C-alpha cells in the first residue's frame, strides 16, 4: 500500500512506518506504592531513545507500562496518535509493539528451535520464516538450534530474546538492560544491531546501565530519578547530566 499501511492478522490496520511514542502524565503503582509519579516523554518516530537513571528510578516499570505489561493509574501512552489504553502485551506485540524484558523472557528448558516454534503461534508467520530471519541476524543460533536455551551463554540467550521480539517485525521495540551480565564485546555487537534496526526504520526505547554505551547509539536521551523525568535532550547534553546524577 502506498501509505505504508497493512492489515494485520488481527484485522487491525497498522502502518509499517515507525511511529512516535508519547507518554503523558503516566502514573503507575505496585500495590499501594506509586513508583511513576507523572512521566512525560516524547520519543520521535524512527529514533533511538535512551532512558537512563539510577537503580530504582522506575525505568523498567516505565518499559512495562509502554509494552502493556503493567497498567497505569493515570495518564496515557500513545503510539503514533493511537492510545494503547489497556491493550495487553500480546495484542500490542501483534501490532508491532514489542519488548525484550530484563531477564530475557525465553524458555530455558526448551531448545532454540522449540523457542522459535512457540513464537510462530502468534500467527501470521511460518517456522521457516522465523528460522530464516533469526539465523540471518544471529548465525550462531543456527549452530545452537538443538541446544536447550538455558544452557547457552548469556549473550546467545540475549540474541534469542531479541529474535523473539523481531519475529513480529516490530515498528516499536523496547529493550531493557540488553547488556545485563554480558561481556563488553557481546554488548558492542548487540548495540551495533540496535543501530542497524533503527536505520532500517524502528522506534527504539532502551534502558541501559552503561551510560556511554547507550548514548553512543541514541538520538535522544532522558534521565529518570525517583519516578520522574529529570532532564531530556541530546546524548551530548545528557552525558554530563547523567554523570552528575550518578555521582550525586
C-alpha separations of 127 from 70, 93, 123, 146, 194 in Å: 30, 18, 10, 15, 24
Regarding 60 and contact with ligand ATP (CB under 6 A), the answer is: yes
- Candidates 1, 2, 11, 55; binder of ligand ATP (CB under 6 A) is 55
Regarding 30 and contact with ligand ATP (CB under 6 A), the answer is: yes
Regarding 59 and contact with ligand ATP (CB under 6 A), the answer is: yes
User: Nearer Cβ to ligand ATP, position 26 or 57?
Assistant: 57
Cell of residue 224, nine digits: 529518570
Regarding 103 and contact with ligand ATP (CB under 6 A), the answer is: no
C-alpha angle 81-86-91 in degrees, rounded to nearest 5 = 85
Residue tagged 501512552 (cell numbers): 77
- Candidates 41, 50, 57, 66; binder of ligand ATP (CB under 6 A) is 57
Cell of residue 61, nine digits: 516499570
Regarding 58 and contact with ligand ATP (CB under 6 A), the answer is: yes
- The least CB distance from residue 55 to ligand ATP, in Å, is 3
23 contacts 62 by C-beta, under 8 angstroms: yes
- Give the C-alpha separation, 112 to 106, whole Å: 9
Regarding 53 and contact with ligand ATP (CB under 6 A), the answer is: yes
C-alpha separations of 150 from 34, 139, 142 in Å: 34, 18, 16
- The least CB distance from residue 39 to ligand ATP, in Å, is 11
Q: How far is CA 170 from the centre of its chain?
A: 10
User: Nearer Cβ to ligand ATP, position 35 or 241?
Assistant: 35
- The least CB distance from residue 191 to ligand ATP, in Å, is 18
- Which one of the spans 42-50, 59-67, 186-194, 230-238 is the region binding ligand ATP (CB under 6 A)? 59-67
Interstrand relation of 172-176 and 203-207 (parallel, antiparallel or unpaired): parallel
Regarding 61 and contact with ligand ATP (CB under 6 A), the answer is: yes
Residue 104's Cβ-side half-sphere holds a number of Cα atoms within 13 Å equal to: 21
Q: Which residues bind ligand ATP (CB under 6 A)?
A: 30, 35, 53, 55-61
Amino acid at each position: 500500500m502506498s501509505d505504508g499501511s497493512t492489515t494485520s492478522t488481527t484485522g487491525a490496520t497498522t502502518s509499517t512506518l515507525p511511529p512516535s511514542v508519547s507518554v503523558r502524565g503516566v502514573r503507575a503503582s505496585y500495590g499501594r506504592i506509586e513508583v511513576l509519579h507523572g512521566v512525560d516523554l516524547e520519543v520521535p518516530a524512527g529514533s533511538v531513545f535512551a532512558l537512563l537513571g539510577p537503580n530504582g528510578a522506575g525505568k523498567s516499570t516505565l518499559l512495562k507500562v509502554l509494552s502493556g505489561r503493567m497498567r497505569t493509574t493515570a495518564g496515557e501512552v500513545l503510539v503514533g496518535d493511537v492510545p494503547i489504553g489497556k491493550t495487553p502485551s500480546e495484542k500490542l506485540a501483534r501490532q508491532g509493539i514489542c519488548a525484550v524484558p530484563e531477564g530475557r523472557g525465553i524458555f530455558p528448558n526448551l531448545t532454540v528451535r522449540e523457542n522459535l516454534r512457540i513464537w510462530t503461534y502468534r500467527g501470521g508467520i511460518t517456522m521457516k520464516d522465523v528460522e530464516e530471519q533469526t539465523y540471518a541476524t544471529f548465525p550462531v543460533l543456527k549452530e545452537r538450534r538443538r541446544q536447550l536455551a538455558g544452557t547457552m551463554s548469556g549473550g546467545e540467550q540475549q540474541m534469542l530474546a531479541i529474535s523473539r521480539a523481531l519475529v513480529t517485525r516490530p515498528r516499536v521495540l523496547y529493550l531493557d538492560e540488553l547488556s545485563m551480565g554480558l561481556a563488553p564485546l557481546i554488548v558492542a555487537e548487540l548495540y551495533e544491531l540496535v543501530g542497524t534496526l533503527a536505520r532500517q526504520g524502528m522506534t527504539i526505547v532502551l534502558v541501559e546501565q552503561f551510560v556511554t554505551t547507550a548514548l553512543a547509539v541514541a538520538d535522544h536521551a532522558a534521565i529518570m530519578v525517583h519516578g520522574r523525568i529529570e532532564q531530556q535532550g541530546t546524548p551530548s547534553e545528557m552525558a554530563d547530566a547523567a554523570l552528575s546524577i550518578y555521582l550525586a
